[in-house]
Amino acid sequence: MPKVFLGIDPGASGGVGVIRPDGIRVWAFGDKTERDIWDELRASAEGFEGQVFAVIERVHSMPKQGVSSSFKFGRSYGFLRGCLIGSGLSFTEVNPEIWQRELECRSGGDKNLTKARAQQLFPDLKLTHATSDALLLAEYGRRVAGHRKPAAVKKAVSRPPTPASPTPAPPTPTPPPATAEAKATASRSATRRPPTRRPAKSLLGDIFFG
């Protein structure tokens, strides 16, 4: 599960919001160079490699927007996506109406509404129009990717232990089959007659009377 969430509001007037276990940070693009932005994004993920999830707002050209402005906006958007890909960070693109609906701040293009919502959720931070949407995008990522309500865990039912089965008696060993020699010996023993014992009186008579 991700532990760091980045929100990126592309464009010259946008910025980045970072929600980490050790704190929250926001910064605007302002006059930062592309190298500055690259370094900032890498620093935001430092120490949490493989545990970062970024959300970048999916943008398109606006009505009545000049060709030059559209080109600069598209260039910034492509650069920021390239930074995420080059850094090996997981990310997704989301339309404004989707993340604003999730965070209950449908603005219709009025940044004052999203700024007010960001101030409600993060009252201890000093936020501007350039950083409010970015931080809300990070919060959107945190909610949808990291902190949905977990599935209920079923409690194990306690059951009495099953009585152990009695140990069966060992089988009676079967004697090995008798050999031919053993059979012959048993047969001679069975047919041999025991010696006849003569009475003591008869024996004395034989001795004295021959």
Q: What are the tens digits of pLDDT across the range 49-60?
A: 899 999 999 976
Order the strands of the 23-28 sheet from edge to edge: 23-28, 15-20, 4-9, 52-57, 90-94
Pairing verdict, β 4-9 and 52-57? parallel
Sign of CA dihedral 17, 3, 100, 7: positive
Q: Give the pLDDT confidence of 115-125 residue by residue, as tens digits.
A: 999 999 999 99
pLDDT tens for 84-139 read 999 999 999 999 999 999 999 998 888 899 999 999 999 999 999 999 999 999 99
pTM for the full predicted model: 0.67
Neighbours of 149 (CB within 10 A): 5
Residues paired with residue 26 on neighbouring β-strands, in sequence order: 17
Distance CA 13, CA 28 (A): 7
Q: How confident is the model at residue 198 (pLDDT cuts 50, 70, 90)?
A: low
What residues form DSSP beta bridges with 78?
none
Q: Which backbone phi and psi does 27 adopt, to 5 degrees?
A: -155, 145
Directed axis angle between helix 34-44 and helix 67-87, to 10°? 40
Segment 42-48 mean pLDDT = 92
Angle subtended at Cα 34 by Cα 12 and Cα 111, rounded to the nearest 5 degrees: 20
Q: Exposed (0-12), middle (13-18) or buried (19+): which is 100, by Cβ within 10 Å?
A: buried
For residue 144, which phi and psi values (nearest 5 degrees)? -80, -25
- What's the Rg (C-alpha) of the chain? 47
**Under CATH, what is the fold of the domain 4-145?**
Nucleotidyltransferase; domain 5 (3.30.420)
Amino acid identity at 80: L
Q: Taking the CB of residue 85, how many other CB atoms lie within 10 A of it?
A: 10
